[in-house]
Amino acid sequence: MKNLGKHTIKITVNGVPNGKTVTQTVYEQAGLFYVNHLSSKKQIQQINGEYIVNHNVRAISMLSMRDICNKFENHESKAD
C-alpha cells in the first residue's frame, strides 16, 4: 500500500455532501484509495482530483449507540 501523504477529504453522508472536511493520510493500492478508519482501512473515492469519503447513516447510528451503551456500562460499574 503506497502512502500518498496527507490530503483534505470531503465528507458525504449517504452520498450527500455535508460541507465538512478532514485531513488524513491517503493510501493507494491497485488504483483504489483508502484512509485509516477505526481499526482498519476505509475505501474512499477520488473524483475530479478530490478525495471523498462516504459515511452510511445506519453505521453512524450504530456506532453512536455503542458509545452510549459503553458509557452507561462504565458509569454503572463505577457506581458499584
* Closest alpha carbon to 25 in 47, 14, 41: 41
Say yes or no to pLDDT of 79 above 60.
no
Look at residue 5 in the predicted model and tell me its pLDDT: 96
Instruction: Retrieve residue 80's grid coordinates.
Output: 458499584
Please write the tens of the pLDDT for every residue from 68-77.
666 656 544 4
Look at residue 6 in the predicted model and tell me its pLDDT: 96
Cell 445506519 belongs to residue: 58
Please write the tens of the pLDDT for every residue from 16-70.
888 889 999 999 999 999 999 878 899 999 999 999 998 887 766 666 666 666 6
Query: Are the CB atoms for 76 and 70 separated by under 8 Å?
Result: no
